[in-house]
Amino acid sequence: MIIRDAKFIISAVKPEQYPEGDLPEVALAGRSNVGKSSLINRLLNRRGLARTSGTPGKTQQLNYYLLNEDFYFVDLPGYGFARVPKDVKAQWGKMIGTYLDKRENLKLVMQLVDIRHAPSKEDVEMYQYLAHYARPHAIIVTKADKVARGQYQKHVKIIRQTLGVLPGTPIILTSAETGLGKQEVWDLIAKYVGV
């Protein structure tokens, strides 16, 4: 897929703020620091469109990016900050829950997990949301360049087992550093959004 145009549209916290129209949406979820901004920038061949790292816990919004006027990337707020107050966590859950439950435009959720670590409690919770709302989803393993090729399968197995990944769920190894998996991710997106 060739991305001719990518632009930030809006940060939304509630359904009234979601963009109007029926363009398909691909959401990206993951723990803070998982490499979400880096992967988005790599997929779009752009630097700095999606903020890298930012301020922990501050970006509690759904960030919409319009691609080629055809579909949206929806960058879901990163989770897993240790010192986020309980009410912020509850707010996060409500916002994500509402989005996953109600948003018809949502065609695919990509949940990112770092190849080096066993999924955290929050990763498991996020996955359970996806399974609960029966949303089409894929697991995107980030930072593959950080481990040796020969170790890939071992790490993938830990991720699959810890999350309880449903049979048939795509798991794609990626690296924002080397570009590994980029084509596979675009093929997956094309299949779900039909572009």
The residues that touch ligand GDP, with contacts defined as CB under 6 A, are 30, 32-38, 52-53, 78, 142-143, 145-146, 175-177
DSSP classification of residue 145: G
Helix/strand/coil percent split, the chain, to 5? 35, 25, 40
- For residue 193, report the phi and psi dihedrals to the nearest 5 degrees: -100, -10
Q: How far is the CB of 52 from ligand GDP (least distance, A)?
A: 4
Q: How far is the CB of 183 from ligand GDP (least distance, A)?
A: 15
- End-to-end alpha-carbon separation of the chain, Å? 8
Spatial contact of 31 and 79, defined as CB atoms under 8 Å apart:
yes
Q: Does the CA dihedral 23-33-15-136 come out positive or negative?
A: positive
Shorter beta-carbon distance to ligand GDP: residue 70 or 145: 145
Shorter beta-carbon distance to ligand GDP: residue 36 or 137: 36
Q: How far is the CB of 180 from ligand GDP (least distance, A)?
A: 8
Tokens of 51: 């903020």
Q: Which of 163, 156, 120, 135 is nearest to 34 (CA)?
A: 120
Round to whole Å and give the CA distance between 46 and 128: 32
Shorter beta-carbon distance to ligand GDP: residue 50 or 106: 50
Shorter beta-carbon distance to ligand GDP: residue 108 or 144: 144
DSSP element (H, E) containing 161 = helix 152-163
Shorter beta-carbon distance to ligand GDP: residue 147 or 195: 147
Shorter beta-carbon distance to ligand GDP: residue 70 or 146: 146
Q: How far is the CB of 41 from ligand GDP (least distance, A)?
A: 8
User: How many C-beta atoms lie closer than 10 Å to residue 66's C-beta?
Assistant: 17
